[in-house]
Amino acid sequence: MLLTPHILLGAAIGSKISSPSLVFALSFASHYFLDALPHYEYDISGLKKKKAEKKLLFEFLKLTADFCFGAGLALLLVWNSPFRTGAILGMLSSLVPDALLFLSWRHPNSKFLKFFALPHRACHFLKNLSPAWLDLSTEVVVASTTIFFLVYYV
């Protein structure tokens, strides 16, 4: 799944829960829930390679743009909220599984990182099984629903 829906859902979770540990746990778990849904993913296979290539820069720019768009939109929606700090914690916590997956690619012998990488891969059991329109519509529905929540309930 793109980073933006993860960020938006993490912000929504953090904007309504006052316990930082619960925000972290729910936002972290929400990542796996969203990844279990049919969803679109752009190619980031170059990030798995040890040596730098031209493709790596392009993939890094895609991730950066996705992160900046999602974080900017979420911050815009929660900036005046009294739970802004919780929303930011939720945003960041929702991305931890992807960060751990990336680290597992860089350190494939780490048992700690494998512990998180295996369930992350298992959540993608529908990958390449659903039509592209369903993958993209899932992204749109998740993002739209969380934006609606952040606009009207925060």
The tens digit of pLDDT for each residue in 138-154 reads 999 999 999 999 999 87
* SS3 assignment, position 143: helix
* Domain residue spans of the chain: 3-153
pLDDT greater than 80 at residue 86: yes
What mean pLDDT comes out for the span 64-71?
97
Q: Specify burial of residue 61 (Cβ count, 10 A radius: 0-12, 13-18, 19+).
A: exposed
Taking alpha carbons only, the member of 80, 95, 83 closest to residue 16 is: 83
Number of C-alpha atoms within 13 angstroms, CB side, residue 13?
25
**Residues 3, 72, 76: CA angle, nearest 5 degrees:** 130
pLDDT greater than 90 at residue 15: yes
**Given this model, what pLDDT does residue 76 score?**
96
Say what the pTM is.
0.90
